[in-house]
Amino acid sequence: MFAIVEKHRRLSQILLALVSITFIGFGAESLSSGIRGHYVGKVGDTTITAEEVQSIVRAAHQNGNAGATNESTFQSLVQQAYIEQGALELGVGELSVEQIKSVIARDPEFQTNGQFDPAKLRNYLSAAGLSEDRLIDNMRRQYRRQTLLGLITNGSIVSTSQAEQLLGIINSERELRSAPFQASDYAGKVQPTDAVLKTYFEANKARYALPLAVKLEYVELSLEELAKQQPVSAQELQEAYQNLLAAGSEAKPSFDSVKAQLEDSVRQRKASQAMGKAREELEQLAFDNPNSLQKVAEQMKLPLQKQDEWLSQPDVAASQLPDAVKEALFSAEVVERRHNSELLDMGNGVLRIVRATDVSKARNQSFEEAKDAVRRDYIAAESAKLAQAAAAEALRKLQAGQAAPALQWGQVEKVGASQLQQNLGMENFAAIVKARPQNGKPGYALVNLPGSGAALVEVRSVSLPENSKEQLPQVRQLAGQRNGEQFYTQFIRGLEQKFPLRSGNQKLNPDE
């Protein structure tokens, strides 16, 4: 609305969005001085009252922002208060009364035929419920805050060389090859004693705890299974054939050629009609025979199926089964009482009743029970360390220009930065970025591969796409924004420590 606000809006729009300031007009954003704790919160000398919060929320609702709440508005006001406190601390954005009046006089909204019109200003003040002094104070606060935000967001200068470096990281392609150091190749060098294994076991005991697990039997009701039970009479087939429509101008197919399809169609229709009643019957039979699914299966003419492998609670929790099914499989009714479960909807029109045939309770294994697994894990961990150490020694020799052991280099390939990040992770990608070819010689990096050892990467060349120069302005802007956001976060945290938010005697919500 005001020229001074429009002039500095671009400087602070990013961080204004971050603190979610949702104010309508200047009348809604005054932060009163507060008397004797008559406020909800206080930052430095700035207080936030319940009346201000509620006034802003009402204005927001009247202007179509139904999502504005007391809590979100209060948090926005707190952020705004910290921004203003920071501006006061740094002494930035101070305007005199004469400067503000000059801005108001030049604002087209308060002019008639290019000249300041006092009547328009009075009408605005009356509609907003403001005095002239309050308007001036609001504008001073607004300018103070936006000046600080502008300094933060635009004060981070990113040079062309910095932008090119960032572009080289996020958009470069590397011609490279790799030589693996497989952990399995070093396994023969690891010969642990029982004492060593026991120490490893004690340090990783939780890893060898056995979770709660069950073996199950179940009866499954589905449209497919129910359709198999549906009889189809000759009359039903003839009726289905009579209702069969020919495609376009084609002649109606012969009865014999579509008989099998008609049977399936009739069975599916009858199964759909019977599903509701079958569901109720299955549920009632499972309830009446809580200790057996055999009777349920026989009366429902459904096969009794078995899950003979142990099904552990962690495996079920990580599965894509519906939450209600996950909960029921390890409920007290199934695991402790060994009763039939409730009717479970497995999705895709499949219903099941399950019952535990065997239960393995959660417990800690002894060393002797877990010894084989402990040996396997220890050898794998130590083998990986040996592989990584061998790779590190080979890297040292290559970087020093010394003869390295014969390496099994793979084929040379060209890989983009995003693919490297995705496949190897940020830590390994950072190591590869540092390996830059120089003076016609390749760069080398060591990447650690959890569980499988390590690899040496030979970087032969680094190149940018042909249109990379066109992306520099965008990259420079992105880097500046990130730097500004990081500085803003650190700046606010510093203010929060210096000026902790203090609570007054007012409640944010009147009903509390």
Run of H or E residues at 358: strand 350-360
What CATH class has 209-227+272-364?
Answer: alpha beta
Q: Determine the pLDDT at residue 11.
A: 31
Task: Return the exposure string of 153-166: e unless at least 16 CB atoms fall within 10 Å of the residue's CB, then b.
Answer: beebebeeeebbeb
User: What span, in angstroms and rounded, lies between the C-alpha atoms of 46 and 55?
Assistant: 17
Element (H, E) at 465: none
For residue 386, the SS3 value is helix
Return the DSSP state at 35.
S
End-to-end C-alpha distance for the chain, whole angstroms: 37
**By CB neighbour count within 10 A (0-12 exposed, 13-18 middle, 19+ buried), where does 314 fall?**
exposed
pLDDT number for residue 155: 55
Long-range pairs of 4-7 with CB within 8 A, sequence gap ≥ 24: 4/100, 4/103, 4/139, 4/143, 5/139, 5/142, 5/143, 5/146
Q: State the pLDDT at residue 33.
A: 43
Best CA proximity match to 150, nearest among 15, 4, 2? 15
Query: For position 385, what pLDDT does the model report?
Result: 94
Q: Which helix (H) or strand (E) covers residue 406, if one does? A: none
Distance CA 416, CA 437 (A): 16
User: What does the CA dihedral 213, 219, 220, 224 come to, rounded to 10 degrees?
Assistant: 150
User: What's the angle, vertex CA 247, arms to CA 243 and CA 249, rounded to 5?
Assistant: 115
Separation between Cα atoms, residue 75 and residue 52, nearest integer Å = 13
CB-based contact 461:168 (threshold 8 Å): no
Classify burial at 206, counting beta carbons within 10 Å of its beta carbon; exposed 0-12, middle 13-18, buried 19 or more: exposed
What is the CA 261 to chain-centroid distance, rounded? 47
Enumerate residues 6+ apart whose C-beta is below 8 A from 5. Answer: 139, 142, 143, 146
Q: Which CATH architecture has domain 41-156+494-503?
A: Orthogonal Bundle (1.10)
For the chain, the domains span: 1-34, 41-156+494-503, 173-194+369-463, 209-227+272-364
CB 316 within 8 A of CB 333: no
pLDDT at position 426? 85
Q: Where are the alpha helices (DSSP H) in 441-510?
A: 472-498
Within the chain, which residues score under 70 in pLDDT? 1-37, 152-170, 246-249, 467-471, 475-477, 479, 481, 484, 510-512
Phi, psi of 139 (to 5 degrees): -65, -40
State whether residue 215 is helix, strand or coil. strand
Q: Note the Cα 347 to chain centre separation in Å.
A: 26
Give the neighbor-by-neighbor strand order of the sheet with 453-463.
Answer: 413-416, 173-182, 453-463, 443-449
* DSSP character string of 288-311: HSTT-SHHHHHHHT--EEEEEEEE
pLDDT digit string, tens, across residues 68-108 = 888 888 898 998 888 888 888 777 777 788 888 888 888 89
Of 82, 238, 68, 65, nearest to 148 by C-alpha is 82
As given in the structure block, the two tokens for residue 342 are: 């409730």
pLDDT at 512: 58
Q: Which tokens is 419 given?
A: 């693919």
What's the whole-model pTM score? 0.53
